[in-house]
Structure 1
Amino acid sequence: MKITLEELRAWVAVVDTGSITAAADQLSQTSSGISRALSRLEQKLQTTLLHRTTRRLALTEEGQIFLDHARQILASVEAAEEQIALRRETPAGRLRVNSATPFMLHVIVPLVAEFSARYPQIQLELNTDEVLIDLLEQQTDVAIRVGDLRDSTIHARLLGKSKLRLMASPDYLAKYGHPASVADLANHRLIGFSYPEKHNRWPLWDSEGEFLLIKPDVATSNGEIIRQLAICGQGIGRISGFLGRDDVAAGRLVPVLEQETREMSHEINAVYYRNTTLAAGITCFLDFLSEQIASKPLL
């Protein structure tokens, strides 16, 4: 008997999710059905692909070799389906997008309804990570990265730039006053990053004409948390334009030291691997995102 695509999909899903139950949920099948598919696959191949215990699943050496081929086969099938969809001029299929949580919440999520209405046959899968990910390992089609790019194995498309500004809540400024100079920051609570240190460079000159390195009174690893702390009146924070623009418009945050602020911004890039054929779904998504950012700049 020949191996079927359903058996390959079940096999890859079990490996990716780490369990038969999770794979069944992902594929909308029963656990017994997934288990039978794996058994048939191993019987057809006349080898053991997985060591099963009550706690975990572990790939055999043959399983690892077969997994790589199975991924290639499924990717080829998806590419063929994509080409047929292109002939119908209707991009279709699953599109896996990854970004840091703040960008996902404030830029991508508000655009999902319009994108889905324009491309109803594209199924978006939105995932977040606060650290850089391996696109292939995480099965990601395109990732949005904020800041410097150092990976030479990827293609990048610049979507825009987001200015960095100092902001605080009206309540905080009413209580502690507006700083009139860089030196006045010594009398204020500063909200910054716990790591890396370069994220605590603020768009202000220090005494040596360099960007000011601050020591935060409250530190976190996430820009969205800095935004929330600032809104709650916990101090002054350096906030990206795409995070704070709606808060400034609504009066939840107020720019601080605008006259002293120097030009500092983060590039917003969409990235994908160089050895990836750019699928129609990715092209549609990037064109759409570029269009939306151009109409509402990441100020």
Structure 2
Amino acid sequence: MKTSTDELLVFVTVIDSGSITAAAEKLQQTVSGVSRALTRLEKKLDTALIRRTTRRLQLTEEGVLFLARARAILDAMEEAEQSVARRRERPSGRLRVDAASPFMLHCIAPHMQAFAALFPEIRLELTSNERIVDLLEQKVDIAIRIGALQDSTLHARALGSSKLRIVASPGYLAEAGEPRSVEALRAHRLIGFTAPEHLNRWPLRDGERDALKIEPAITASSGETIRHLALADGGVACLADFMTVADVNEKRLVPILDDILIDERQPVSAVFYQSASLAGRVQAFLDFIGTRLEL
């Protein structure tokens, strides 16, 4: 494209104002600057658009044709800007949010009816992955990540943190007894993660060490699977409060070894690529979920 939108705006404003001087005042530019822009535009088009006389400006035949197209272009640009502004005021469009299944089930899904009522024009897509996903590859707008962040190319908003606890069901403890030390815990059925390995280091004081590396009797790739195994009297597990707080409150799971438990919290963050100017729907979700999470 040879011409710029600034040159189009100058041309249209000169015609609407009736003179270069009036157009310069309206555009808050110098008269010479407006005149140079007109000359530059005609040079790029290799044709005269305006006949200049001492009394008035008159469009050439080419100028009449170009004026109509210039108006259409400027009107389309203004409409495009207004549509973006309207989206920020009234968020709309597709929003894909990804989180590990336990966090999705316990912390995201319960609030989505309220979110949909507030933002009916957002088409929400929820996906669950136990491993870290590539936002661009999976076309994810927001990913909820638990634990320390590694990818420095992403922007993040902290949503809170969730304490880790050692829990077991009343049925399991009635059968196997309640362990009251690390040594006693080693004799119990321990439920751990298939991967990553650091999730099988429990925040318990083990002598001079600040973590206990367990040897699980059974492993699972999802925290939600581990939770269900624990609820089914399957053994002892180390899980975050966000997925067990209701179970503990309703006595389906019992916290144990609190006296040697280290206060370790997993940070919860929302990560995304947008930075200075968040899309309205992304901003709407972050603001909404930030007020709903009890972490």
TM-score by length of 1: 0.69
Map residues 106-255 of structure 1 onto 2, 5 A cutoff.
Answer: 106-255=106-255
Aligned-residue Cα RMSD (Å) equals 1.9
Q: Which residue of 1 is the match for residue 59 of structure 2? A: none
Cα 1:247–1:168 change in 2 (3 A) is same
2:224 is paired with a residue whose SS is: helix
Describe the shift of the 1:191–1:171 C-alpha distance in structure 2 as closer, same or farther (beyond 3 A).
Answer: same
CA 1:82 to 1:223, structure 2 compared with 1: closer, same or farther past 3 Å?
Answer: farther
Partners of 2:127 and 2:149 in 1: CA distance: 20
> Which protein is bigger by CA-based radius of gyration?
2
Alignment deviations for residues 64-123 of structure 1 (CA, whole Å, 9 cap, x no partner): xxxxxxxxxxxxx9998443323xx22111111011111111110000111111112212
**Any gaps of 5 or more consecutive residues in structure 2?**
1-78
- Return the alpha-carbon distance in structure 2 between the equivalents of residues 82 and 284 of structure 1: 15
**Distance (Å, rounded) in 2 between the aligned partners of 1:169 and 1:271:** 34
SS in 1 for 2:186: helix
Give aligned pairs, total.
Answer: 217
Q: What is aligned with 2:288?
A: 288
Deviation at 1:206, TM superposition (A): 1.2
CA distance in 2, matches of 1:83, 1:133: 31
Local SS of the residue matching 1:110:
helix
- In the alignment, what sits opposite 2:278? 278
Contact 1:155 1:274 (C-alpha < 8 Å) held by counterparts: yes
Find the counterpart in structure 1 of residue 17 from structure 2.
Answer: none
Query: Distance in 2 between the 1:99 and 1:112 partners?
Result: 14
**Native 8 Å contact 1:103 1:242 kept in 2:** yes
Superposition deviation, residue 131 in structure 1: 1.1
* Deviations 1:162-185 (CA, angstroms, capped at 9, x unpaired): 110001001001111111112110
Task: Tell me which amino acid in the other structure corresponds to 1:120.
Answer: P
Structure 1 residue 130: Cα displacement: 1.3
SS of residue in 1 equivalent to 2:198 = helix
- Say whether 1:262 aligns with 2:262: yes
Q: Distance in 1 between matches of 2:87 and 2:133?
A: 29
Identity of aligned residues (%): 47
Contact persistence 2:94–2:124 (CA under 8 A): yes
- For residue 207 of structure 1, report the CA deviation from its aligned partner: 2.0
Q: Give the counterpart letter for 1:273 in structure 2.
A: Y
SS of the residue 1:163 aligns to = strand
Amino acid at match of 2:151: D
Q: Which residue is equivalent to 1:83?
A: 85
Mark the runs of 5 or more structure 1 residues left unpaired by the alignment.
Answer: 1-76
Q: Is the 8 A contact 1:82 1:91 kept in 2?
A: no
Give, in whole Å, the separation in 1 of the partners of 2:269 and 2:98.
12
